[in-house]
Every structure is written in structure tokens, then in C-alpha cells.
Amino acid sequence: MHWLRFLVTWIVLLGLGLAIPGCNSPPDRARMGPLILISIDGFRWDYLQKHEAPTLRRLAAGGVHATRLTPSFPTKTFPNHYTIVTGLYPAHHGIVGNWFYDPDAGTTFGMSKPESNTEEHWWAQGEPVWITAERQGVHSFCYFWPGSETQNHGLRPNRFKPFDGKIPTNERVDELLRWLEGPDAERPGLCTLYFDVVDTKGHKFGPDAPETAAAVAEVDAAVQRLLDGLARLGLRDRANLVLVSDHGMSPCGPDRIIFLEDLMNMAQVQVDATGPVGGVRPKPGTITAAELAAQIRAKVPPQLHVWLRDETPERLHYRGNPRIPDVVLLADDHWNFESRTGWPVRAPTYNRASHGWDPATPNMGALFIGSGPAFRHGVELPDVENIHVYNLLCAVLGVQPAPNDGDQRLVRAALRR
């Protein structure tokens, strides 16, 4: 039903003349450079001040910078990357976690499972911006992005790179620059680029560690390498850049763990996901979801919140989709829940930091920078929810967005008139 609501809303907006600027008269792609959407996974909003990042600071100061990009719930990598490019909350685009069970398909999605990244049915509940662009004649090149490796309602990006975490940071930049060589008529209107080193080091060492600071410096240098390459191609003053992250990072460790075995009869449940956020389902023929929730609540410590799927707080926008666990569990900041199975082996290498907690948690805040000829100069914005980024991308590209959960506030605040 939410699609019908979006459609009606969109028709009303069109009637009021509030459609996205540029959509009715698409820009001349031969004159414009590409829009490059860059994700720096795990780049917490305050890393810009906490760690040395001169290139990113310069882009933020000279363009549009949101003090904090608020992620969607759950504050995990795959849900938020897909929210950024669809404008939909995870409950609406269907990627409700990094790992989740789909009762209709009878199988589990996993971020590191190749088939999860290439099978269309996982991703078809949302339309990503590269599909929106391709529908309207704007070619897209995706150098890594969750969802870019699969067909979506019969379409694909014009070119894409399957994820390979072993490819060094600078090599990713250089290959994207090679994709951008050639005449204007053959150049893509949209590119994506993804860096994961900041997230990897943040998990392993923590947000304040020198290793994380070094990762920030590595990505900052890679962005400068991209800018220098764009200058060599004659695109530096024509290209628009949007730099985002999917979530922040918060310290945790093996000393703040809640064990599921202390809360429920594990023989009766299927565990969908553990960590800061996840959930459980009753196995068929055992107990009801309401009984399971009551069982957990009778023993739950104050650091863990328990909801039935359609009783989660409205502000989290995490209801209705059967891919969401029947019983949703959310720990307080710095806490995780796990199974005791194999714990003595896992505990010594447990993450020093993580993400997934409530989006309102200060440490979960993410990055947003817009830079280029389409953007205003020297503008600092307050908190922006990441559901609004998709409409901004469409406005820069001059394409009509698909129905979504965002609105025009970021378009109005960030783009030149």
C-alpha cells in the first residue's frame, strides 16, 4: 500500500509545480561532467575533525556539508547503501539487514554470499538510482555498490564491477578514471565508487585508533587522486561529487555481551541475526511470536529492547516487511547480543567497535558532502536523513525519481538555483 501512497503524493506534487528542479528539461549531458557518488563505509560524521582528512575538509568547506547524515534503521551497511540510492527505508526496499531470512523464499540473504548479490528477487522491492537513470537514457557505471551486480526489472547499469575487497584503494580510483576516458557522448552520467578500509579498520581497532586514522588518510588521499585524475581528463570543473557514508562506528567488546540462551529456549527459535541489532523467529509448531516475545521480556536485561515486528517504534520505520524478524532485538549503544555457541573461540577476536544501533545514537551519524557546479558553495546543513539523498541525485542528473520515502528538503538546501 505504501507504493499507492507514494504515487498519489507524487501526482499532487506535480500538480503543485513542486517537481524536482531540472526534471522537466534534462541537462545537456554533453556539457556536464559525471555525477560521482562515493561511499566511504563506516566514516563517522566526526572523523572529519577527529582525523586528518584535508581533501575531504576542503570539499566540505567549499561545497555543501551536513554536520551529520542520519542513517536509517538498522544502521548496517547493506540496508543503508540501498536506502541512499533508492530513497526508501529498509522495510520498504527489502534489504532489512546485512543478513536476514525471507520466509517467502525460504532462504537467507547474506552480504557475503555471491548469490545474494546477483539474484534479482532480493533487490526488486526498490529502484536504485542507476536504474532510474538508465530508464531515462542516462548511462551509469557502478564501481561497487550493494545491488549493482543484479538485474532490476529487466535493467542493469551500463557497466558494473562485482565487489572484490582485495582491490587496493588507489586501484579502484584508477580503474574508474579509465572508465571515464573517451568522448563526452560515451561518458556515463552517473558513477559509483566504494571504499571499505575505514569500516574494516574501525571494526578491528576502534574509532579512535591510529589504524583507523591511517585508513581515513588513505581514503582522503584517494579522493585527491580522483580529483587530480578528473583534472587530467578535463572534468574537474564539470563533475559533481556526492560523498556519503552508510553509518558511524561505536566502541564495543566481548565484555558487554548479552547471551540469547539466558533469555529464551533456543530449541524453539530461529536466529536471524545477532550483534547490536537482529532478531529471532519461533520455529514452526513451537510457540507464537507473542509468546516468544513475552518469554524474552521476562528475563531481558535493561540494555536490550524487545519488540514484535509491527510494534517497533514508528520513528524507526521498521515494520510490515516479513523479512524483518518476528521479534526484533536492539541493544543499547556499546552492547551486543550473541549465542554462547562457539563463544570461547570468537571472544578473543570480537570487534572493538561496530554499528547497527539506534540511528539517533550520536556515534551512528554518517558523512554527507556535495561538491561541484550543481552545488551551493560554503553551506553547512544540520542533520539530514539519508532517505533524501536519492532525490538529490536524481535532481543533479535531471531525471524523474521513482516514488520514495524522501522529500525535496535536501534538493532545495544543497543545489544552486
**Is the model's pLDDT at 11 over the cut of 60?**
no
Q: Residues 53-58: contacts with CB within 8 Å, 24+ apart?
A: 53/216, 53/217, 53/219, 53/220, 54/220, 55/220, 55/221, 55/223, 55/224, 55/227, 56/220, 56/223, 56/243, 56/367, 56/369
pLDDT at 28: 55
Give the contacts of 79 (CB within 8 A, at least 6 positions apart): 72, 73, 90, 95, 96, 97, 98
**Is the model's pLDDT at 351 over the cut of 50?**
yes
pLDDT at 230: 98
Q: Compute the mean pLDDT over every residue in the chain, rounded to the nearest whole number.
A: 93
For residues 73 and 79, what is the distance between their CA atoms, to the nearest angstrom?
8
Which tens digit of pLDDT belongs to each residue from 216-273? 999 999 999 999 999 999 999 999 999 999 999 999 999 999 999 999 999 999 999 9
pLDDT at 18: 38
pLDDT at 220: 98
Count of alpha carbons within 13 Å of 76, Cβ hemisphere only?
21
pLDDT band at 417 (very low <50, low <70, confident <90, very high): confident
**Is the model's pLDDT at 214 over the cut of 90?**
yes
pLDDT at 90: 99
Q: Work out the angle at residue 401's Cα, subtended by the Cα atoms of residues 399 and 402, and round it to the nearest 5 degrees.
A: 140
By the 8 A CB rule, do 37 and 147 touch? Answer: no
**Is the model's pLDDT at 24 over the cut of 80?**
no
Q: Which domains does the chain have, with CATH numbers?
A: 2-7+28-249+360-414 (3.40.720.10), 257-350 (3.30.1360.180)
Number of H helices, E strands in the chain: 14, 19
**Is the model's pLDDT at 159 over the cut of 50?**
yes
Among 18-22, 43-47, 274-278, 299-303, which is the least confidently predicted range?
18-22
By the 8 A CB rule, do 245 and 281 touch? Answer: no
Dihedral sign from CA coordinates of 105, 110, 111, 112:
negative
By the 8 A CB rule, do 394 and 400 touch? Answer: yes
**Is the model's pLDDT at 26 over the cut of 70?**
no
Q: Which residue type, as a one-letter code, is found at position 25?
A: S
Helix or strand holding residue 260 (H, E): none
Quick check: helix, strand or coil at residue 110? strand
pLDDT at 10: 42
> Alpha carbon of 177 to those of 14, 48, 102: distances in Å?
37, 25, 38
Phi, psi of 194 (to 5 degrees): -135, 130
Which tens digit of pLDDT belongs to each residue from 75-104? 999 999 999 999 999 999 999 999 999 999
> Alpha carbon of 111 to those of 78, 315, 346: distances in Å?
7, 26, 20
For residues 82 and 304, what is the distance between their CA atoms, to the nearest angstrom?
27
pLDDT band at 182 (very low <50, low <70, confident <90, very high): confident
Cβ neighbour number for residue 213 with a 10 Å cutoff: 19
Length of the chain: 417
Q: Which of 77, 86, 169, 274 is catalytic?
A: 77
DSSP 373-410: TTB-SSEEE--EEGGGHHHHHHHHHT-PPPS-S--SHH
Q: Work out the angle at residue 87's Cα, subtended by the Cα atoms of residues 54 and 90, and round it to the nearest 5 degrees.
A: 105
Phi, psi of 122 (to 5 degrees): -65, -30
Quick check: helix, strand or coil at residue 273? strand
Span 52-75, average pLDDT: 98
Quick check: helix, strand or coil at residue 56? helix
Span 131-158, average pLDDT: 97
For residues 68 and 349, what is the distance between their CA atoms, to the nearest angstrom?
30
The grid coordinates of residue 59 equal 570539499
Among 24-38, 142-156, 200-214, 294-308, which is the least confidently predicted range?
24-38
* pLDDT more than 90, % of the chain: 91
Answer yes or no: 77 catalytic.
yes
Cβ neighbour number for residue 28 with a 10 Å cutoff: 9
